[in-house]
Amino acid sequence: MSDNNDGRRSYGSGGSDRSRSGDNRGAGAGGPRGNTGGGARGGGGRPDRRGDGPPRRRGGEGSFGPPPRDGGAHAERRAPRPEEPDLPEDVQAGELDPAVRRDLLSLDKSNANAVARHLVMASKLIDDDPRLALAHARAARQRAGRVAVVRETAGITAYHAGEWAEALSELRAARRMAGGPGLLAVMADCERGLGRPERAIELGRSDEARTLSGDEATELRIVVAGARMDLGQFDQAVVTLQTPELDAAKEGPTAARLFYAYADALVAAGRVEDGLKWFLNSAAADHDGDTDAEDRVAELSGDQ
């Protein structure tokens, strides 16, 4: 999606009140934040696509095609599309990342333009109005349901809007079309949102999970630890997060989130002093203020 797409806030706002309890999806130890690595992006990096891409459809996905030969009044007609949200005139298809626009070449020109504009609007609205963003993503999916990046964008946007089942379905579809592990951390967090932490843990153990590295692997660990906390397995959540990436010298949003999740798990496991130390590490790594680590430090130290 656009460069401002960063997960469920683009994947949810870090350090919310939910991050202090077992129901911490999308925040603190809960769910992935930071770049989703997928979705249609406006003007910046290409989504993490794998495989040969979606199948091409003659005439373009969503095109109405030629009329029936008999042309009679009773000829079968394609049902009209559901009402779509308005597209402001100043929103242009050219705002979409060129690599994503190339994925729309299987569509007829007019339809590709409309799909691109809906994707741009979904990107613009995802933080401030995720419900309207989802309406645009659904319109794009209705027009181009066989394009993997469109399904992936619909899944990410549904995730922002708290539509866990829809998000999971769309992301699964995108993964079938494009290949690769897909957005496993988001999918696992959706399972948590549906009240199925055990399935989130299973995804963390999957063959696809073993192929992940770097930030993607860290984000999945954060979600799996959150699922452990959902189940009251606080010590196991702590162990889940004990990786070489747990290095207090690291900085940046992923490190800040990992340290925050580890601190949250330590406190839940009764290791408050250790948790305080890692909240301090999270605050030091969090240059953008994505978490509420400083507030947690004040809370735990009694410095209100």
* Tokens 């580890």 sit on residue: 262
pLDDT at 165 over 50: yes
Q: What is this structure's pTM?
A: 0.75
The answer on pLDDT for 303 being more than 50 is yes
φ, ψ for residue 228, nearest 5 deg:
-60, -40
- E strands along the chain, which residues? none
- Sign for the CA dihedral angle at 239, 243, 248, 250 comes to negative
Residues 235-256 have pLDDT tens digits of 999 999 999 999 999 999 999 9
Greater model confidence, 303 or 62:
303
Whether the CB-CB separation of 237 and 19 falls below 8 Å is answered with no
Asked which of 17-31, 127-141, 165-179, 181-195 is least confident by mean pLDDT, the reply is: 17-31
Residue 212, SS3? Answer: coil
Cα 233 from Cα 185, distance rounded (Å): 19
- The DSSP letter of residue 94 is G
| Of 23 and 111, the one with more pLDDT | 111
Backbone angles phi, psi at 181, to 5 degrees: -75, -15
Segment 91-142, tens digit of pLDDT? 999 999 999 999 999 999 999 999 999 999 999 999 999 999 999 999 999 9
Contact 230, 197 (CB under 8 A): yes
Q: What is the pLDDT of residue 6?
A: 34
210: Cβ contacts below 8 Å, ≥ 6 apart: none
The tokens describing 35, both together, are 């770049």
